[in-house]
Structures are given as structure tokens and as C-alpha cells.
Amino acid sequence: MADRIELGAVVGVFGFRGELRLHLHNREDSVLGAAREVYLRAPDGTERVATVSVRPGAGKRIIARVEGVDDFDTASALVGATVLVDRDSLPPVAAGEFYVADLVGLTVEDPEGTVLGTLRDVVAGERDVWVIDTDHGEAFVLATPENVIEVDHERGVIVVAGGALVGD
């Protein structure tokens, strides 16, 4: 399991005072409800520790303030960074829930046990889309209760409904 969990990413700048627009994988979670220390990982892999506080914006926006970032140019340099926290600082997951980091790399099977591929990525959105590497290339699964039958961490397997893979 990963030592750090990705909470989301910086997707833009909000205004001219250095606030950022965030996309969070789980908007309802209160992990960033109070100012806390996070890691900001730039697209080139470099990381910096930052203290971040968030507030709701208009619509589904999440607006963040990073301590020490107070202008548009400094904030712009953070666009594209992922926001991570130490796993041990997060609450344990409830039954039927999981952290995305724990899914990547799991084998994807159909209900009969036929291996379909390996989960490579999760594209977060209104409904997450799982990217599966198969023998035939890339395929996708819309992560809905109808399509995802089981996530078995002990076996390292995700069972998806027959016909759930698109693009294979």
C-alpha cells in the first residue's frame, strides 16, 4: 500500500490573490476541512510540504489557500500538482470503501474468474472511470455499483460485471 494518499489536484488559479481551484477525489470528505500539512507533487515529481486550507466555491468548486502563496504567478506555478497526505494521518476506510491508491495495480476479473487486465488509473469525476490495461490495449470501466461487483484486497482482485469493460 502507498505511504501517501492522493486527495486530488490543483486544476487552476482562482482570482489574483493566490487562491487555487482544486479537484478533490472525494469532495464530501472533511480531510481538508481544517488547515493541514499536505504534500504538493509537481508534474515533474518534485514535492514540497505546504499548509493548505480549503473552502467551498461556486458550484462544485473547491478553493484552496496555500500558506505563503499570495499572488497569481506563485499560484500558477502550482497548477497541475497533486495533493497528497500521509496515509497514517487519514481515518480508516469503512466497509465497501477504499482509497484509489489501493486499487491501482489490482487484477481485474469477470465474475467467472477470467482475468481481463490490470487497473492502471482512476479518472475521477461525477462517476469515476477506471482505466484497465488489457492484452488488447486500454479499456475502461465506469465505476458504478452495477459494474463493480467486488474489490478483494486480500486476493488483489477487482471483479467487474460481464460487459462492464468498454474499448477492449
Q: Concatenate the DSSP letters of all residues of 62-119 into one string.
A: EEEEETT--SHHHHHTTTT-EEEEEGGGSPPPPTT---GGGTTT-EEE-TT--EEEEE
What's the pLDDT at 15?
87
Which among 24-28, 70-74, 161-165 has the top mean pLDDT? 70-74
Question: What's the chain's Rg over C-alpha atoms?
Answer: 18
pLDDT band at 27 (very low <50, low <70, confident <90, very high): low
Burial 75-109 (b: 16+ CB within 10 A, else e): beebeebbbbbeeeeeeeeeeeeebbbebbebbbb
Question: How does pLDDT run across 80-104, given as a tens digit for each residue?
Answer: 999 998 888 887 777 777 777 788 9
DSSP 69-82: --SHHHHHTTTT-E
Burial 11-44 (b: 16+ CB within 10 A, else e): eebbeeebbbbbbbbeeeeebbeeeeebbbbeee
Edge-to-edge order in the sheet of strand 157-160: 137-142, 129-134, 115-123, 107-109, 157-160, 148-152
Q: Does residue 1 register a pLDDT over 60?
A: no
Question: How does pLDDT run across 118-130, given as a tens digit for each residue?
Answer: 999 888 767 889 9
For residue 161, how many C-alpha atoms fall within 13 Å in the half-sphere facing its CB? 11
What's the pLDDT at 155?
92
| 3-state secondary structure (DSSP) of residue 124 | coil
Pairing mode of beta strands 4-14, 47-56: unpaired
| 3-state secondary structure (DSSP) of residue 20 | strand
Nearest-5° Cα angle at 129, 127 to 130: 140
